[in-house]
Amino acid sequence: MKKHLYLVISLLFGAMTLLQAQAIREGDRFFDGSTLYSVREIRLGSIIYLADARGEEELTLEQWGDTPGVYRLRPSRNADEPKYGAEFGCRVEYISQLENKFLRVIGDNDMILKDLPFVKPMDDIAAGSLWYNGSLVYDANPNEDGSVLMNAMAEGEELEFLLIPAGDGTDVYKVTEGEEGVSYQYDHARYARRLRKEGLDVLCFYDWQSRLTDVIQATQIWDSQALNVKQWMAPICGNYKTGGGKEFVVDETWFAYGGFDYPLEPVTFNGGITGVIDFGEAGPYIGRLEVVPTAEGLRLTEVKMNDGEPWYERTVSYYDLTWAGEGSRFGFANEILLLSGLRRYDKPLLRVMRNAILAAHGYVFQSKDLKNYFEAQPWYHPAANNARVKLSLLEQLNVALIQAAERNEE
């Protein structure tokens, strides 16, 4: 059952499963966090010899049976003992998923011992380039040794992390903390990969199981508050109906009701989002209200909140708005990279949001609740064949980011 689920998810991502794995080729490079290996030779079409630039560190793999992309670890000339806590003869798989290929060394009981990401050429991260992670903007500072120190400020506190490249001009980095005593956001990340494709320029962070956990995006904007507001408002903006059936339109800086436009202001604190919008003194909703996206639309809850403080107290008064847009309630997930805000949603809503990305392309669902939900949407048009459903890189990243948020809910 787990294998079947893995194959389904792989097809959704347009990724290659082990059954569709690309063959390892001479010149391919893999990074274990300290050593960059190159495929030096492939003998008899089945024995793959990898070594570092000096030939001091070696790995030798042998094709395992007839299954493409599956190998076993063999002794090498300069490797008397196996690495990574493995044993000679253990399984090594060549996996490709979501623009991320890697060798996986697997021990007893299918324990993951080590992932070695495939390394490709890539431009170095430019000095002074800015990178937005959904709450902060990091500034890139390359060092003479090729590493890149990323700096940000949050409420007067400095944050850092260090990217150590697999080699000169490569797309993979080891992720570690910066100077001792400086706050560090990415202690869960084992490595990062830079992707430049389909108009995106992003750094993707992966955990020890090579699961995507975070993404930061290149930006030209230093003002993190402006970026935070734009990110948070994306799931909120749109056309709705009030409980009385009247049209209510929300935009980033205004709302429309009863034929009139009124200003609104997201309430921030030290550049961060509080989850509250000030609707002013006109219109159907007065003052400050917590705004929470739902599967059906929005829930607005009146709050008690003091000026200059991020905390608030919910009252018993709330209002539900029903989505009335022409497209999907979650259409924003097909258009903007979801770098922040996912922690505000519960697991059931995250599940609907993730599958809405697929539904926008006509994916046909087997789960009864998802099938009923999407077939009730006027914009949903089932595809003739799920194999034809193709997601953009942005959509694939959003699916993986939502999955990461769902894991955090467990």
pLDDT in tens, the chain (410 residues): 433 333 344 434 443 333 345 689 999 999 999 999 999 999 988 999 999 999 999 999 999 988 889 999 999 887 778 999 999 999 999 999 889 999 999 999 999 999 999 999 999 999 999 999 999 999 999 999 999 999 999 888 899 999 999 999 999 999 999 887 788 899 999 999 999 999 999 999 999 999 999 999 999 999 999 999 999 999 999 999 999 999 999 999 999 999 999 999 999 999 999 999 999 999 999 999 999 999 999 999 999 998 888 899 999 999 999 999 999 999 999 999 999 888 888 999 999 999 999 999 999 999 999 999 999 999 999 998 999 899 999 999 999 999 999 998 66
The total number of structural domains in the chain stands at 4
Question: Which of 323, 339, 365 marks a domain boundary?
Answer: 323
- Asked if the structure places residue 236 within a domain, the reply is no
Question: Which of 164, 197, 225 marks a domain boundary?
Answer: 225
Q: Are residues 20 and 81 in the same domain?
A: yes
- Asked if the structure places residue 233 within a domain, the reply is no
Question: How is the beta sheet containing 297-304 ordered, strand by strand?
Answer: 260-263, 254-257, 247-250, 238-241, 313-323, 297-304, 288-293, 272-278, 265-269
Q: Are residues 40 and 9 in the same domain?
A: yes
Q: Are residues 14 and 110 in the same domain?
A: yes
Largest Cα separation within the chain, whole Å, is 79
- Asked if the structure places residue 272 within a domain, the reply is yes
Q: Are residues 189 and 138 in the same domain?
A: yes
- Asked if the structure places residue 125 within a domain, the reply is no
Q: What is the pTM of this model?
A: 0.91
Question: Which of 170, 193, 225 marks a domain boundary?
Answer: 225
Domain that holds residue 21: 2-119
Q: Are residues 43 and 75 in the same domain?
A: yes
pLDDT, position 22: 62
